[in-house]
Amino acid sequence: MNVFPELNTERFWLRRLTLNDSAALFDYFSNDDVTRYYDLETLTSIEQARQIIMNWQLRWEQDETIRWGICVNGHNTVIGTIGFHNWSALHQRTEVGYELAPQYWRQGIMSECLQEVLRFGFVEMGFNRIEALIDPDNVSSRKLLEKCGLKQEGLLRDYLFEKGKFVDAAIFSRLKKEYITS
Ligand SMILES: CC(C)(COP(=O)(O)OP(=O)(O)OC[C@H]1O[C@@H](n2cnc3c(N)ncnc32)[C@H](O)[C@@H]1OP(=O)(O)O)[C@@H](O)C(=O)NCCC(=O)NCCS
């Protein structure tokens, strides 16, 4: 993709991240509640947020990742992000990941954004399978995925080495044929 695709939902617009969003990301990624089940140490400096954004940007340029910043319609402040990573062109599959600043949790925001991102992934990017790997104890992420039609396939034992220890990952997926017929 040459041009970064902006997406729109009823309440939100999803746009390209820039380094100007570093403070917003640092604000929530410096909160232990946000990183508890996330493959990331709680941030201690804004420079780390800059690195995250630069890394997503680099991987976007290499056709490996796309990460949108989520903004309320009419506002430019990023309240969370969502996107695809670990693309496989050969197998036409990808993983989805997301996070939201805590003051916005449980208002249906990520469900609204994930539905649109799934549509974009299946219809515009042509993925056949969209996966999510989550901590089995991450209830909010599990409920979100189930609400958006992803099904748990199993538990990958000691799958990730996070924060100094091996942890299990629950694997969820949704297939294009399920999406098209739903
Ligand atoms: C996971 C996360 C993105 C969910 O976003 P959200 O906008 O709060 O989710 P929604 O409001 O769209 O909720 C989706 C569904 O999950 C349910 N849900 C969300 N959090 C829940 C919780 N803590 N307990 C029980 N149900 C929960 C909602 O009720 C809703 O279901 P319903 O419509 O049937 O009631 C958010 O909690 C978050 O950013 N967590 C920290 C980062 C993280 O863990 N990211 C994922 C790493 S894999």
96 CA to centre of ligand 1 in angstroms: 15
Q: Which atom number of ligand 1 is nearest to the Cα of residue 111?
A: 12
- Domain assignment of residue 1, yes or no: no
What digits encode the pLDDT tens for the residues 74-84?
A: 999 999 999 99
Q: Which atom number of ligand 1 is nearest to the Cα of residue 107?
A: 11
The residue among 144, 129, 138, 133 whose CA lies nearest residue 170 is: 133
pLDDT, position 122: 97
What's the CATH number where 158 sits?
3.40.630.30
pLDDT, position 180: 85
113 CA to centre of ligand 1 in angstroms: 12
> What φ, ψ does residue 87 adopt, rounded to 5°?
-70, 145
- Domain assignment of residue 2, yes or no: no
Mean pLDDT of the chain: 97
Q: Please state the domain count of the chain.
A: 1
Question: Confidence class of residue 1 from pLDDT cuts 50, 70 and 90?
Answer: confident
- Domain assignment of residue 173, yes or no: yes
- Domain assignment of residue 27, yes or no: yes
Q: Which atom number of ligand 1 is nearest to the Cα of residue 133?
A: 48
pLDDT surpassing 90 at residue 109: yes
- Domain assignment of residue 133, yes or no: yes
- Domain assignment of residue 177, yes or no: yes
Question: Which residue, by CA, sits nearest to atom 44 of ligand 1?
Answer: 37
pLDDT surpassing 90 at residue 89: yes
pLDDT, position 2: 78
Q: What secondary structure, in 3-state letters, does the chain show? A: CCCCCCEECCCEEEEECCHHHHHHHHHHHCCHHHHCCCCCCCCCCHHHHHHHHHHHHHHHHCCCCEEEEEEECCCCCEEEEEEEEEEECCCCEEEEEEEECHHHCCCCHHHHHHHHHHHHHHHHCCCCEEEEEECCCCHHHHHHHHHCCCEEEEEEEEEEEECCEEEEEEEEEEEHHHHHHC
What digits encode the pLDDT tens for the residues 46-75?
A: 999 999 999 999 999 999 999 999 999 999
Mutate which of 34, 135, 140 to test ligand 1's pocket (most atoms within 8 Å of Cβ)?
A: 140
90 CA to centre of ligand 1 in angstroms: 32
Instruction: Look at 1 and 135; give whichever has higher pLDDT.
Output: 135
Which residue range is the domain that position 152 belongs to? 7-181
pLDDT surpassing 90 at residue 144: yes
Structure tokens at 177: 């044929």
Task: Give the Cα separation of 162 and 91 in Å (integer).
Answer: 26
147 CA to centre of ligand 1 in angstroms: 10
